[in-house]
Each structure stands twice: as C-alpha cells, then as structure tokens.
Amino acid sequence: MARTKHIRKSTVLKIAITIAPLLVWGFINIDLGVMTNNQTTMLWVHGPSTLDSAEEGELLIEAWDQFERLSCSYKGRVEFSLKSYDIDTLEPIPEEEVVSQLPAPHRFTGQLFGQGIIPAYLLPGMDNGMRRFRFQISTEGVHYILVEDTLTEKTYWSNPIVVEDSATPLVWGDIHSHSLLSDGSGMPYENYYFARVVAGVEFASITDHGENLHLDNGWSSIQAASNAANDPGEFVAFQGVEWTSSGGPHTPSWGYGHLTFIFSGDQVGRISADIQKTADDLWNYLDEFTSETGDRALAEPHHCVRQPFIQDWAACFNHPEYMRVAEAYSVHGSSLINPYSQWNETGTVGQPGAEIPGSSINEALSMGLRLGFIANGDSHDGFLGHSISHTRAFIGHQYPPAYDSSRVPQPYPSGVTGAFVGNITREAVFHAIYKRATIANSDYGRPYVRFSVNGLEPGDNDSTLIVDNATTNREITLFLAQDGNPSAGYKRAAKPWIDDRDWSARVQVFKNGDLWREEEIATPLASITFTDSAAITGTEYENCTIKNGEWYINGESLTAVDPDSLNTGGADYYFVRVLTSNGRFTAIGPIWVESA
C-alpha cells in the first residue's frame, strides 16, 4: 500500500512538472482574440515606387485584420482608378488624360471563416486576403492607384508610383532581422518567403546573432538560406550577421554597442563577440575577410541610444570603408536624435534615466563620422519586412514558431529602407546603401523622397558638395510624395482613414545637428526649397568627459579620444526629417558641404 501511494505521488509530481511549464507558457502566450479574430479592417495597396513609361508594374493588394495580418476570409470586390499629378507643377492630371491599363474589377476569394492560427499566406486554393495584379501607366507623373472596396466601403490609396523614364529605380528592403537560429522566430527560408511574398520588399537580410550561430554551428545554415533566397533581378537576400557586444549571450565584451553586418557576396563573415572580443579584433577580422574573399562589408549601428546598448562611436572611427550608414529607426524607435534633445519626437525603447551625450546618430555626425540613414525591423517575430510585434499578435502561439524570450511586444512598428539602385542585384543594392543613396522610413510606408543641395543628392560624390567659397549660397531642396496608405504608430496598428486622408506633416531640415528650418504641409505632394547664405563653419562635438585621466565621448564609452579631433573638418551637414500627423517617420541624408 505504501509503495502504491509513493508511485501515485511520484506520478502526480511528474505530471505536474510536465504540465506546469505548458500552463505558464499558455498563460503568457495564448490570446484567444488573436487566435480567432481575423476579420478584415482595411486594405494595403502597394505598387513599385518607380516605373518607366513603357514598363509594366505589379500591384499587391492585401486585406489586413486589426493586427496587420492577412485576412483569410476577405471576399470584397475591388475596382481601380487613378489619381495623378504633374511631377513638375504638382498639379492634378485629369484621369482621362493619363494613358494607362489598370486591372479589371476583381472579387477576392477567401475562407468561410477567419482564424488567426494558420497564416493566410500558407492556406491553399484561394486569394486568402492577398492578390497581385498587373498594370501599366504610360504618362509621366506621380500616380496613386485608388482601390474601391465593397466590403469595408472605403477607397484606399497606394504608395506614390513615379513614372519617369529618367528616374533612378527606388526599391525597398529590411536588412536587420532574426530567425530561429538565434533569438528570433521561424527558419530563415520562412522569413525570406514572408519578406518577398507578403511584405513585398525587394531586398532583405537575416542578421542572426553570431554568438548563437557560433554555439549552434549555424553559419552554414544561414549562408545556404540566404544564397537560396537570392534571386537576381527580382529579390536580393544579403548574407548578414550581428555582433552583440553588450547584452548578448555569453559575450565577454561589454559597452561597444550592437553592430549588424551585411556582405556583398555569397559568404557570411564568422563574426561573434566571443570570437572578436574587442572592436579592434572586429575591424581586423573584417580586413582579413574582405581581403580573402574580395567581398565588401557594411556595418550598421542600431538602437544606439537605448540603454544598455549605447553605441561606442569612438570605437567606429577610422573605418569609413565599413561605417557608411546607421539605423535611424526600428522596432526600438528612433536613434537619430538624442532622447533628451528638444528635437526628439519619435522616442525610443529603453530610454536612459538621464541624458547620455554622444549616443545618437546626429551626435556621431558632429564627431566627424559620415553616416547615411537606413531603417529596418530588428524583428524577432519571423515577419521580415513587416513586423507585427507592435500589435497583440506578437504572442508566442503565432506562426512561425519561436523558443526564445525575445519574441516580446515592441511599442514601435518596424521600418524599411529605400535604396536608389541601378538594378536588383546584390552588388547594385549593396552599392546604393554603401554610397548612402537611401531613405529611412517607419512602418511599411514607401514615400518617394528626393533631397538635394545645389542639385547634389545623397550618394553623389560621396554625398559631398564642394562650393567655391564659404559664403556660396546653398539651395536645399526637397521633393516629397507621401504614401497614401494609413500608417502604424507607437503602440498602434494601422487603421483605415476615418474620413478624408490627413496629409498634414512637418518637413524639418537639420543643419550641423540643430533644427534649422521647418515647414508644414497638408498635401500629398510637396516641393520645398530653402536658401542658406550663412558662412560654412562646420561643427564639433563638445560633450566629452574625462575618466582616469583620459577623454571619452561619454561615460559609457570604452575608447579614449582626442577631443580636438571630434569635428566635421570644417564641413556643414544637412539632413531632412519628415514627421506626419499620423505618426510616420522619414529621414534622408545627410549631405556635407565643403568650401574649396
């Protein structure tokens, strides 16, 4: 009898030990509303940003639920029309004067009932909330394709489609994400499939933490997946990895910040903070890797104002071949401006309890670093190119699977990078990012933005304008065509416009780190010019601190500096930030101006 009671107690204990983790997981990761509510709330309409007048385009229409997921039961009927503008005068072009071939009306097919467990894009046999259409617009201008929907009884606008034979193609991507091989979700092939087919981006990279890849021998897996996903002319998959020097698993280094890397070729660098234990080790390895392979590498500092991941910019000096861009926006918020600056409006996750000078990208520019702007996801939910971790659907029961605790809610939607490219190949997209011919944008938005100083744009002549003398007038010009799709925002999923579209936004020009000019707009298109006649002076970083008898850019930095060297070398720099009333963030630049 005693033996029987012991066996029963032992059995009960084993069952409890087995079930308890499942109950805890279920309490944290099961949300019945997310599992069952897949009802359509809006349509997302996405076309190519640029087309030649003789070129056919592809229009992607997706029906989204309240969590920005595909709505598998959507059965609305859609009809198409155009709203067009002259690219020079910005005046509307009557639709009857536009030569175009738009898709015929279409009724979507979908499931009998919606559900939020199996993603709609994995269901066979029907549209399931997503369909591609072919179209052509032969009249040059800026065009929006309007889609009238019978189910939601609303009309949706696409992103701007610029038809101009001389336009440089603008494509979009996300080059910072994580898969199940480190602390993300889903296998790499699943992430790349989502990026290309559902998020509709033209380039992407999975940048898993090298520290995990090093432990799990995941290098060959991620390298093979990126090479398999790469499809020249259609979709670029870059080899990528992240060096996690602060806060990563089993990393001896602490305080350099986080750097992701993409590579121009078909090999991924074996980068890990437990292999390259210092910044010098890292740069030396990159020198060896690029010399041996003939490939190029780009470093991408990110969430650099977030505690405890403050970027040690001083450790990045003297490496302009790798330090070309910085991540101005992601699911962590914006790192462009210091969180304690009077010009910080977007905010960041993990804001320090007190100001840490010299942490933002803007301050790094004042130190003399020359960095263009990109925006990415840093997604851990498997949705490369369009993370939904800012919604309740971050939850762990969502496909694709995850086992790491980093699948957590983030208050900000992810971002995307626009790149002005020659063609859609690894070399061409890499070169565009390298030369800083980029746009950084929050959420899934695809605005069309051109920024120049005296006609020179980011990417031209190393983004540097040389004028005759220090008092030469500079004309700062911005052309903006806003995305017609509703935006997502801080702790807010995308929702359809309630009434008419609200195009109100503030266009801000920063000069030498300070807000220099601002203009409010209330139209989908805007062309703005400011003239600067002040003498070119350059700027410098003035907030160094002294530790143990040596100077550092701030109290977090591990790298001693000479304060007199932290300046722009006499060059002024300008960049543009656009903040829309509905929460969208866009940044482009900088452009440096030097006198001969």
What are the tens digits of pLDDT across the range 202-215? 999 999 999 889 77
* CA distances from residue 214 to 155, 252, 495 in whole angstroms, order as listed: 50, 14, 42
pLDDT bracket for residue 501 (50, 70, 90): confident
Which 3 state secondary structure label does DSSP give 474? strand
Classify strands 415-420 and 77-85 as parallel, antiparallel or unpaired. Answer: unpaired
More confident residue, 229 or 5: 229
The position carrying tokens 């040059």 is 140
For residues 6 and 89, give the distance between their C-alpha atoms in angstroms, rounded to a whole number: 87
Contact by Cβ (8 Å): 486, 497: yes
| 400 upstream amide cis, omega within 30 of 0 | yes
Q: Using the predicted structure, report yes or no on whether residue 14 has a pLDDT greater than 60.
A: no
Q: Using the predicted structure, report yes or no on whether residue 360 has a pLDDT greater than 70.
A: yes
Contact by Cβ (8 Å): 559, 279: yes
Contact by Cβ (8 Å): 260, 207: yes
pLDDT bracket for residue 515 (50, 70, 90): very high
DSSP string spanning 396-440?
A: TTSSSPB-STT----SS--EEEEEE-SSSSHHHHHHHHHTT-EEE
Q: Which of 284, 316, 314, 311 is nearest to 299 (CA)?
A: 316
Contact by Cβ (8 Å): 540, 562: no
* CA distances from residue 461 to 435, 568, 593 in whole angstroms, order as listed: 9, 17, 11
Instruction: Give the containing element (helix H, strand E) for 142.
Output: strand 141-149
| Cα-based torsion angle of the residue sequence 313, 317, 323, 327 in order, rounded to the nearest 10 degrees | 10
Contact by Cβ (8 Å): 527, 477: yes
Query: Residue 479: left if φ>0, alpha if ψ -120 to 50, beta else—which one?
Result: beta
Contact by Cβ (8 Å): 409, 363: no
For residues 347 and 544, give the distance between their C-alpha atoms in angstroms, rounded to a whole number: 24
User: What is the pTM (predicted TM-score) of this model?
Assistant: 0.94
Residues 6 or more apart from 545 whose CB is under 8 A from it? 357, 551, 552, 553, 554, 555
Which 3 state secondary structure label does DSSP give 47? coil
For residues 272 and 287, give the distance between their C-alpha atoms in angstroms, rounded to a whole number: 15
pLDDT bracket for residue 12 (50, 70, 90): low
**What average pLDDT does range 27-39 have in this prediction?**
83
Would you state the structure tokens that stand for residue 583, as one six-digit string? 């929460």
In the chain the domains, ranked by start, together with CATH numbers, are 36-163 (2.60.40.10), 171-416+432-595 (no CATH)
Q: Which of 446, 440, 519 is nearest to 478 (CA)?
A: 519
**What average pLDDT does range 8-23 have in this prediction?**
56
pLDDT at 398: 86
For residues 268 and 241, give the distance between their C-alpha atoms in angstroms, rounded to a whole number: 7
Helix residue ranges, H only, 135-218: 188-193, 210-216
Contact by Cβ (8 Å): 11, 124: no
The position carrying tokens 């969430």 is 303
**β-bridge partners, 480:** 449, 526
* Phi/psi at 171 (5° precision): -120, 165
**What average pLDDT does range 85-99 have in this prediction?**
97
pLDDT at 31: 87
Contact by Cβ (8 Å): 9, 115: no
For residues 589 and 573, give the distance between their C-alpha atoms in angstroms, rounded to a whole number: 9
For residues 290 and 297, give the distance between their C-alpha atoms in angstroms, rounded to a whole number: 7
Q: Which amino acid is at 424?
A: I
Contact by Cβ (8 Å): 114, 37: yes
pLDDT bracket for residue 481 (50, 70, 90): very high
The conformation of residue 348, written as its DSSP 8-state character, comes to: B
Q: Which of 247, 296, 525, 518 is nearest to 405 (CA)?
A: 247
Q: Using the predicted structure, report yes or no on whether residue 9 has a pLDDT greater than 70.
A: no
Lowest mean pLDDT across 162-166, 273-277, 394-398: 394-398
pLDDT at 403: 72
pLDDT bracket for residue 401 (50, 70, 90): confident
**What average pLDDT does range 276-300 have in this prediction?**
97
**What average pLDDT does range 215-232 have in this prediction?**
91
* CA distances from residue 348 to 336, 405, 411, 506 in whole angstroms, order as listed: 10, 20, 9, 20
pLDDT at 480: 98
Residue positions counted in the chain = 596
The conformation of residue 313, written as its DSSP 8-state character, comes to: G
- The b-or-e profile of 287-323 (16+ CB within 10 A means b, else e) is eebbeeeebbbbbbbbbbbbbebbbbbbbbbebeebb
Contact by Cβ (8 Å): 474, 20: no
Residues 6 or more apart from 66 whose CB is under 8 A from it? 37, 39, 41, 391, 493, 495
Q: Using the predicted structure, report yes or no on whether residue 27 has a pLDDT greater than 60.
A: no
What are the tens digits of pLDDT across the range 320-344? 999 999 999 999 999 999 999 999 9
Lowest mean pLDDT across 11-20, 101-110, 579-588: 11-20
Average pLDDT, the chain: 93
For residues 331 and 303, give the distance between their C-alpha atoms in angstroms, rounded to a whole number: 9
Lowest mean pLDDT across 52-61, 153-162, 491-500: 491-500
- No. of helices (H) and no. of strands (E), the chain: 8, 31
Would you state the structure tokens that stand for residue 543, as one six-digit string? 């907030």
The conformation of residue 535, written as its DSSP 8-state character, comes to: P
Q: Using the predicted structure, report yes or no on whether residue 2 has a pLDDT greater than 80.
A: no
CB-count exposure of residue 468 (10 Å: 0-12, 13-18, 19+): exposed
Contact by Cβ (8 Å): 43, 61: yes
Contact by Cβ (8 Å): 35, 115: yes
More confident residue, 2 or 407: 407
| Cα-based torsion angle of the residue sequence 365, 286, 221, 206 in order, rounded to the nearest 10 degrees | 10
**Maximum separation of any 2 CA atoms in the chain, in Å:** 101
